[in-house]
Amino acid sequence: MSSINFMRIKTDYSPIKSLMNFFFCNQVLLYCFLFPQVYKVLVSVGRSEWFVFRRYAEFDKLYNTLKKQFPAMALKIPAKRIFGDNFDPDFIKQRRAGLNEFIQNLVRYPELYNHPDVRAFLQMDSPKHQSDPSEDEDERSTQKLHSTSQNINLGPSGNPHAKPTDFDFLKVIGKGSFGKVLLAKRKLDGKFYAVKVLQKKVVLNRKEQKHIMAERNVLLKNVKHPFLVGLHYSFQTTEKLYFVLDFVNGGELFFHLQRERSFPEHRARFYAAEIASALGYLHSIKIVYRYILIYLMYFLQKCLFIYFSEYSVLLFFFFQFNRDLKPENILLDSVGHVVLTDFGLCKEGIAISDTTTTFCGTPEYLAPEVIRKQPYDNTVDWWCLGAVLYEMLYGLPPFYCRDVAEMYDNILHKPLSLRPGVSLTAWSILEELLEKNRQNRLGAKEDFLEIQNHPFFESLSWTDLVQKRIPPPFNPNVAGPDDIRNFDAAFTEETVPYSVCVSSDYSIVNASVLEADDAFVGFSYAPPSEDLFL
């Protein structure tokens, strides 16, 4: 009966071939997450190689069986985690290391690896894993790549996983210094998605991996809210990160605002209510969106994450690009409902009474406490809501000035100017949202509940709003799910880069394989149910 040696994980992810030179027998390698608590094991017996996908519960079941029969071996696996974040990189590393140790013990001792349950766990007696000279040439090529490439590929064709070639990339619809956003059609079912493709090298060089992981984590929590963009899944190659998102093609809210200069009050109320509903939901799961509008974040990035200590650099960037800047993160869907996008600057884990001090965002919408680098909380989002509502009603942000330094001074010191043409309740909510003292701002005590109960929204049913039973006041009239008329021609006329469309199998690193870089451990995500085609 064949023996098995265990090949441990290399944290630097060096080529498998160089590791295999140390072994002359058969091998087992546990090396990745497929889904939360699902791992992929590479088994090599003679000339045959195959993958086995096992959930943590299956490891636990095998462990409990073996520890009773072999108590002297002191087998152990990482304990179950009932509370906490299963996507935490430290947790991922610790659990992976613990399961590696368990597998190593299984293949070290003949009495263990010859145990029927272990052989079944590793599918060692399955006929399909015997060497077959008639096996498909593509599969043999795939197996060869496992031994020669720097990055591990997706495995046998019987277990396909997300990869760039799953899509037809049709048009560029957004662009930034990290990468591009593309309209893509999934070949499997013809569905359209917005696929956000980021360059790992650029992200790492700018030390933005925390923001990328924050965006991914927020997206995972938001999939089912009606006014937040949904993440269907994410994956990565050796060079790129991919977010597969809802394609929202009604255009930016402010694209329509710029054409119409201002909105009637009933229309502004509708949009403000949907935005507030989304923000209230984010707050309920302890996330501060921080700034509803973040100019050029990821899509058209000019400056990304500039600390307050670099105030002069911040002013320079915003002064240089102020005329070209426009809000990117409030979109309309195909029938006119609001969709908030881009969560790279969201702050996770913020409760109503908590504060944070990170300085970044859109100059016109920065709250006074952010400019002063004072602690801020959920009320920073309500300030932003006030700024957005003001601009929808009046056509310009509340303290706008072409001189950015003067605009900051206006935000800090100038009284709010409210012109005629709107109702008294609109005046009231603007004054309360744009209160310079965050402790007196609307939402400071009971958060979203205070917004809901303000007289400005008295005519609106929040239940009907969330269930989308209120007809939007404006319909973008898109022609179909792939209509891109509401996207800037400067993007859509660009040629789709070949590099985002095609990846050799060996360069794919997704939710089913070992993370290509510790900086992005836990990035890959596969859906639990409806999108489980991977």
By annotation, the residues acting in catalysis are 324
Are the beta carbons of 350 and 378 closer than 8 angstroms? Answer: yes
Please name which of 14, 7, 59 lies closest in space to residue 33, comparing C-alpha atoms.
Answer: 59
Tokens at 463, concatenated: 């239940």
Tokens at 26, concatenated: 């058969």
Tokens at 304, concatenated: 């990304």
Say which residues have a Cβ less than 8 Å from residue 198's Cβ, sequence separation at least 6: 178, 179, 212, 240, 241, 242, 243, 298
Say which residues have a Cβ less than 8 Å from residue 132's Cβ, sequence separation at least 6: none
**Helix, strand, or coil here: 455?**
helix
Residue 347 assigned as binding residue: no
Q: How far apart are CA 338 and CA 270, in angstroms?
A: 9
Please name which of 411, 434, 290, 407 lies closest in space to residue 359, comparing C-alpha atoms.
Answer: 290
Please name which of 412, 325, 313 lies closest in space to residue 370, comparing C-alpha atoms.
Answer: 412
Q: How many CB atoms lie within 10 A of CB 20?
A: 15
Q: How far apart are CA 338 and CA 317, in angstroms?
A: 29
Q: How far apart are CA 387 and CA 418, in angstroms?
A: 12
Are the beta carbons of 167 and 190 closer than 8 angstroms? Answer: no
Q: How far apart are CA 511 and CA 37, in angstroms?
A: 11
Helix ranges restricted to H, 41-86: 56-69
Q: Positive or negative CA dihedral for 192, 194, 199, 203?
A: negative
DSSP string, 287-324: EE---S--TTSSSS-S-----GGGHHHHHHHHHHHGGG
What residue type is assigned to position 219 of the chain?
L
Which residues are paired to 54 by β-bridges? 39
How far, CA to CA in Å, does 481 sit from each of 17, 182, 189, 193? 45, 14, 13, 9
Tokens at 219, concatenated: 């997206």
Known binding positions: 196
Known binding positions for ATP: 196
